[in-house]
Structures are given as structure tokens and as C-alpha cells.
Amino acid sequence: MPIRAADAGAARRVSPALAALWQRGTSFLGVPYAVMGGAMSWVSERNLVSAISNAGGFGVIACGSMPPALLEAEIAATQALTDRPFGVNLITMHPALDDLIAVCLRARVGHIVLAGGVPSGGAVRAVKDGGAKLVCFAPALVLARRLVRSGADALVIEGSEAGGHIGPVSLMVLAQEILPVVREVPVFVAGGLCRGDAIVGLLDMGAAGAQLGTMFAATTESIAHPNFKRAFFRAQARDALPSVQLDERFPVIPVRGLANAGTRRFIEHQAETLRRFQSGELNREQAQLSIEHFWAGALRRAVIEGDVELGSVMAGQSVGQVREEKPVTAVIAQLLDEAEALLATRGHARAPA
């Protein structure tokens, strides 16, 4: 029997002021609180996703490299744990993207997030013709406008403070660039967020809601290895660094994570690969593949196996605010308390608990 949101503490009412600020986001997502869970590979699976949705937020399954059959099973398992709305994040470069979209539509997933690149017209039409709402990531104003024209029903603007794969621009800059001018669709903000009062400030600027990943990765319901969570508890914001690229001829996709022995070895590996390329031992394609394959399986090693020295410990700069393992309900309650405390200073009455 699914656990209903009310049973998990999501019946708490928010003040009229907060309800009005994120009304566009809550209406779009169909949830009490416009708080989305970031899609984190190996972490954003049935347990965490259902917990976020049951707590009144909006969980998002990270499909990552899953094949269609595995995604189908994961959606079904999540639906067995919650009857609240949740979404699925699909990578646009996945070779079976069309089949993955079909899986989501058959399972009646109401919101599909297409990430990792500008989605094709065919993918956009498939989502919308299937009756789902389409959410896309917009790393710049020009792309935000293009995505809206192509049919995106909502956007996420994610700053470089976020964990995992990141763009080059901070959330505050993106917010100032995009929120005042993109009004056609709801825009959710992400990257480095860890306090409810900060979220209120972005709602004031026009955001419809917020997406958080790092704050949820170390919660009780997260299946991440205890070593992975403890790495978060020890870390400061300055420890979450983007991956380093040594030579522009061999691009490195920027990924933010905690500095460890693995990140130091990656720099050494790039230097050795460059030496082998310059000596003629490797051609350009071989050298690029060698660099790209360094981190293969490294996220799973950290999240599932607990190897936080050589694995990839993806984390956003908000990791400095993660000090203990808490239930998802406690994280969301803290965000609400902080948001309401700020609104109360403006003369708005707080909602009864």
C-alpha cells in the first residue's frame, strides 16, 4: 500500500505568502511544496524519490544509463511506494531515448525531464503527444528562449555550484539573466541551494520553485553507502571542486565533486596521456577515449561500494551545510521553517504547524 503524503508529514500548511510565491511551481508539479529532488545517478532511485514525494516535494528518478526494462521496473517500484507525483530524468544522448520516453508514457509518468543537451524535435513531440509535461535545463538565456519555443513546459536553471555535471555560470548570474525575462513557463532554480530563506529570495525574483540534490543525497532514505554520506558530513564548500582539464585539445566534461585521491590521479592520468599523445604512442582519438574512460564506473564505486578515495564523490557546494543524516521530512521541514521565518520578518503571519 503506498504511503500517502499526509501520512509522511506533508499535510503541514504553509503561510499564504509562501503559498503565493511558489503557487506556479506547486500547480505545475502537483505537489504541496515546490521542492524538486535533483536527479542523481545511483542515488535518485525508488527509495529517495518516493520519500521526497511522500514528504510533499517532487522526487525525480535518475535514469542515467538504464536500459528501458530497468527503468520500467524502477518506475513500477517507485509507484508501489508512493501515490504522489514524481518525474523521470532522461539523458538526451541515451541511445534508447525514444524507448525510454515510451516506457515513461506507458507508466503514466506525468513529468519527463530531458537533460544533458538540447532535446531533438522528435523527443519533444513524443513527450508532449504522449500527454506528459516536458522539463528542460537551460544553461543560458538564449537556450531558455529556444527551449520554450520548441515546447518545453518548464525550465530548470542550474548554477555551477551544483554537484555532478555542471555548466560554467553560477546560479545567481543565471537567475538575474533569465528569471526577469522568461515568464512564459515556470522556471525552477538549482545549484548550491540549502536554505529556505535563500529559496524565498529566488522566488521573489520570479522562480517557480527550487531543485536540491546534495541536501537529499545524505538523507536517511538515500541508499548511498555510509562512507559516501560521511564524506559529505566532513566536507566544506571549498572541497567540492570541478574536474580539471589540462589541455583544451582534450575536453573534460566539468563535474563537481569532493577532491580525493581519484581527482588527483585524474590530473596525473591526463598528464601521462598527453605525454603519450605527444610522443606518438596514441593518436588524438585514443588519447581522448583514455581520458574519458578514466571515471568509468567511478560514481557507482563511491555511492554503492563506498570507495570515497578513488570513486567519484559528486557533491555541490552546499555540501558544507550537510552535517548529519536526517530523514527527508526533516530536510523539507527545515526548508519550510527557514522560508517562513524570513517571510515573518516582512509582517506575514506564519502558518500553523
Q: Do 148 and 286 fall within a single domain?
A: no
pLDDT band of residue 352 (cuts 50, 70, 90) is low
Average pLDDT, the chain: 95
What is the number of structural domains in the chain? 2
Q: Determine the pLDDT at residue 346.
A: 87
Give every strand in the sheet of 164-165, ordered side by side: 164-165, 255-258, 240-242
Q: Determine the pLDDT at residue 143.
A: 97
Q: Do 283 and 160 fall within a single domain?
A: no
User: Please, what's the b/e burial string for 51-78 (b: 16 or more CB within 10 A of its CB; e: otherwise)?
Assistant: bbbbbbbbbbbbbbebebeebbebbeeb
Q: Which residue has the higher pLDDT, 10 or 269?
A: 269
pLDDT band of residue 12 (cuts 50, 70, 90) is confident
Is position 350 within any domain? no
Identify the three-state secondary structure at position 240. Answer: strand
**Span 233-242, pLDDT tens digits:** 999 999 999 9
Q: Residue 350 above 70 pLDDT?
A: no
Q: Determine the pLDDT at residue 255.
A: 95
User: Mind giving me the DSSP string for 253-312?
Assistant: --EEEE--HHHHHHHHHHHHHHHHHHTTSS-HHHHHHHHHGGGTTHHHHHHTS--TTTS-
User: Please, what's the b/e burial string for 284-313 (b: 16 or more CB within 10 A of its CB; e: otherwise)?
Assistant: eeebbebbeebbeebbebbbeebbbeebbb
Q: Do 105 and 204 fall within a single domain?
A: yes
Please give the average per-residue pLDDT across 316-325, as a whole number: 98
User: Mind giving me the DSSP string for 23-64?
Assistant: HHHHHHHTSSS-EEEP--TTTSSHHHHHHHHHTTSBEEEE-T
Q: Do 157 and 282 fall within a single domain?
A: no
In angstroms, the CA 269 to CA 111 distance is 40
Q: Residue 246 above 60 pLDDT?
A: yes
In percent, the amount of the chain with pLDDT more than 90 equals: 94
Q: Do 302 and 327 fall within a single domain?
A: no
Q: Do 210 and 135 fall within a single domain?
A: yes
Please give the average per-residue pLDDT across 62-71, as a whole number: 97
Is position 353 within any domain? no
Residue for cell digits 517507485?
78
- CATH code at 144? 3.20.20.70
Q: Residue 2 above 50 pLDDT?
A: no
pLDDT band of residue 6 (cuts 50, 70, 90) is very low
**Span 179-200, pLDDT tens digits:** 999 999 999 999 999 999 999 9
In angstroms, the CA 267 to CA 156 distance is 31
Is position 166 within any domain? yes
Is position 265 within any domain? yes
Q: Residue 152 above 90 pLDDT?
A: yes
Q: Do 217 and 71 fall within a single domain?
A: yes
**Containing domain of residue 89, as a range?**
5-224+322-345
In angstroms, the CA 124 to CA 108 distance is 16
Task: Return the half-sphere exposure (C-beta side, CA atoms, 13 A cut-off) of residue 37.
Answer: 39
Is position 119 within any domain? yes
Is position 352 within any domain? no
**Span 24-37, pLDDT tens digits:** 999 999 999 999 99
- Contact call for residues 36 and 58 (beta carbons, < 8 A): yes
In angstroms, the CA 225 to CA 248 distance is 35
DSSP state of 109: -
**Span 13-23, pLDDT tens digits:** 999 999 999 99
In angstroms, the CA 71 to CA 100 distance is 7
C-alpha cell at 235: 566536507
Strands 59-62, 133-137: pairing is: unpaired
User: Please, what's the b/e burial string for 120-139 (b: 16 or more CB within 10 A of its CB; e: otherwise)?
Assistant: eeebbebbeebebbbbbbbb
Task: Return the half-sphere exposure (C-beta side, CA atoms, 13 A cut-off) of residue 142.
Answer: 0
pLDDT band of residue 10 (cuts 50, 70, 90) is very low
**Span 115-126, pLDDT tens digits:** 999 999 999 999
pLDDT band of residue 347 (cuts 50, 70, 90) is confident
Please give the average per-residue pLDDT across 259-273, as a whole number: 96
Q: Do 106 and 210 fall within a single domain?
A: yes
Q: Do 185 and 70 fall within a single domain?
A: yes
Q: Determine the pLDDT at residue 328.
A: 98
DSSP state of 348: P
Q: Determine the pLDDT at residue 348.
A: 52
Q: Do 277 and 331 fall within a single domain?
A: no
Is position 37 within any domain? yes
Q: Residue 331 above 60 pLDDT?
A: yes
pLDDT band of residue 353 (cuts 50, 70, 90) is low
Q: Do 215 and 120 fall within a single domain?
A: yes
**Interacting residues of 248 by C-beta distance below 8 A, sequence separation 6+:** none
Q: Do 151 and 216 fall within a single domain?
A: yes
Is position 198 within any domain? yes
